């Protein structure tokens, strides 16, 4: 325990109590820390204050008597002794958890009438004026021992009670301080971890954007290679087969079958090229691309499609056009896989500061929370949300079982739209 008695108590209530006792009983009282530092004093006899503690030799005797307390405080609940200057002194240690915290002193009294001849000789020995010294001696209280012992014990025990209460209060404060420090440390760790996670999230978003860019570039390259190289090669093969059909002795059925296979393969390549990256998106923009894509989608799936595209005849930034097309593409893929719809409507409009894309189907709908919760397995929806978020947008899904589904993406329009451009 690293506390002193003065750390554990409030002196004001203790001073009031000591004042009352002094006025009732007339006994001088002093309380010190364990190291002897005086905390409070009430009363004091003239023979001690004006004589014994002013002379060189008598003061030495007082200090020896005080030191006796420190050496003997473990001998009992209190110590009563006759000081080296002839008066009775009492002291009781204040002990908290087996540690000496302070000391209560009282005394400067006599238990019986003094031997005046002894004190007269002492006055002469110590060099004090005999008449004044003897007058001070006659003012010393004469109090029987049985009256002193309960009083000194009460003060010591009362001091211990105050100290225990104070110790409990300080320990609570220390615990609160420790908890606050721990909380601050945890909050700092959380802030650091949050900053790390935010930084990692930003890096992941940057990597994801770069990956999507690389993916789109690769899709564009593959789409053009399929269209320009493979498509052209198959077209040449078809022309050659048609020439053979007119001049060859081979059965026409075999050649016509080969021509059909080439036609089907060409159509598959066109569809694949469109899926990878429609050339129209780079050349003519989002409006023309969506019209072409929905027409092909309707022909391929048999679903009725409606497109309302209001972009004011302007091109959107290239990243935004790509995001709108990919969200529409994924939403239409989900319709085909899951909704059992008969109609799909796509609405897209550009306002002053945002672009709003809506894809609605009249299918069977689904539970949005189940599909997008932590246990949901709809990677398509997650991918759509991520793509929208990459360019600062937000995506909302409105659906209920039996009521169809609406996917809405709202994008901020951060770059200047330019007629006929995509930057």
- Which CATH number do you get for residue 384? 3.30.565.10
Mean pLDDT of 301-306: 94
Q: What's the confidence (pLDDT) of residue 233? A: 64
Residue 410 in domain = yes
Query: The domain spanning residue 104 has which CATH number?
Result: 3.30.450
Residue 41 in domain = yes
Residue 239 in domain = no
Mean pLDDT of 111-115: 92
User: What pLDDT, in 10s, does the model give residues 216-246?
Assistant: 666 666 666 665 666 666 676 667 667 776 7
pTM for the predicted model, two decimal places: 0.46
As for how many domains the chain has, the answer is 2
User: What pLDDT, in 10s, does the model give residues 194-214?
Assistant: 888 888 877 776 666 666 666
Residue 15 in domain = yes
Residue 212 in domain = no
Q: In the predicted model, is pLDDT for residue 259 greater than 80?
A: no
Domain with 76 in it = 5-179
* Residue 94: band (very low, low, confident or very high) from pLDDT cuts 50, 70, 90: confident
Residue 201 in domain = no
What is d(CA 267, CA 296) in angstroms, rounded to the nearest whole number? 11
Last residue of a domain, one of 129, 144, 179: 179
Q: In the predicted model, is pLDDT for residue 68 greater than 80?
A: no
Residue 208 in domain = no
Judgement on whether residues 15 and 149 belong to the same structural domain of the protein: yes
Last residue of a domain, one of 156, 179, 202: 179
């Amino acid at each position: 325990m690293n506390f002193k008695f003065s750390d554990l108590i409030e002196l004001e209530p203790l001073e009031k109590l000591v004042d009352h006792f002094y006025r009732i009983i007339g006994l001088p009282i002093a309380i010190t820390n364990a190291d002897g530092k005086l905390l409070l004093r009430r009363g004091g006899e003239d023979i001690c204050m004006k004589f014994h503690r002013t002379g060189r030799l008598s003061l030495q005797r007082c200090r020896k008597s005080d030191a006796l307390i420190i050496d003997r405080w473990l001998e009992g609940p209190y110590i009563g002794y006759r000081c080296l200057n002839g008066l009775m002194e009492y002291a009781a240690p204040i002990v908290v958890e087996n540690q000496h915290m302070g000391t209560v002193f009282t005394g400067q009294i006599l238990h019986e009438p003094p031997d005046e001849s002894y004190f007269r000789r002492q006055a002469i020995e110590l060099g004090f004026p005999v008449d004044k010294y003897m007058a001070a001696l006659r003012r010393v209280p004469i109090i029987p021992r049985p009256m002193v012992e309960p009083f000194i014990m009460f003060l010591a025990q009362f001091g211990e009670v105050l100290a225990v209460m104070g110790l409990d209060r300080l320990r609570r404060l220390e615990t609160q301080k420790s908890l606050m420090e721990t909380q601050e440390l945890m909050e700092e760790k959380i802030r650091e971890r949050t900053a790390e996670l935010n930084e990692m999230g930003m890096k992941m978003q940057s990597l994801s954007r770069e990956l999507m860019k690389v993916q789109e570039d690769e899709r564009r390259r593959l789409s053009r290679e399929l269209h320009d190289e493979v498509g052209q090669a198959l077209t040449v093969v078809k022309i050659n087969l048609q020439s053979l059909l007119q001049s060859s002795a081979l059965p026409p059925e075999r050649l016509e079958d080969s021509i059909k296979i080439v036609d089907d393969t060409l159509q598959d390549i066109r569809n694949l090229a469109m899926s990878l990256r429609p050339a129209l998106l780079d050349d003519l923009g989002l409006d023309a691309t969506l019209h072409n894509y929905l027409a092909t989608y309707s022909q391929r799936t048999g679903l009725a499609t409606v497109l309302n595209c209001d972009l004011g005849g302007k091109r959107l930034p290239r990243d935004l056009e790509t995001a709108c097309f990919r969200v529409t593409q994924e939403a239409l893929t989900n319709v085909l896989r899951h909704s059992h719809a008969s109609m799909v409507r796509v609405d897209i409009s550009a306002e002053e500061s945002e672009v709003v894309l809506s894809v609605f189907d009249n299918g069977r709908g689904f539970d949005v929370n189940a599909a997008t919760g932590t246990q949901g397995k709809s990677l398509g929806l997650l991918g759509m949300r991520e793509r929208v978020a990459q360019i600062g947008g937000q995506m909302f899904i409105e659906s209920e079982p039996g009521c169809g589904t609406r996917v809405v993406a709202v994008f901020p329009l951060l770059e200047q739209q330019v007629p006929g451009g995509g930057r």
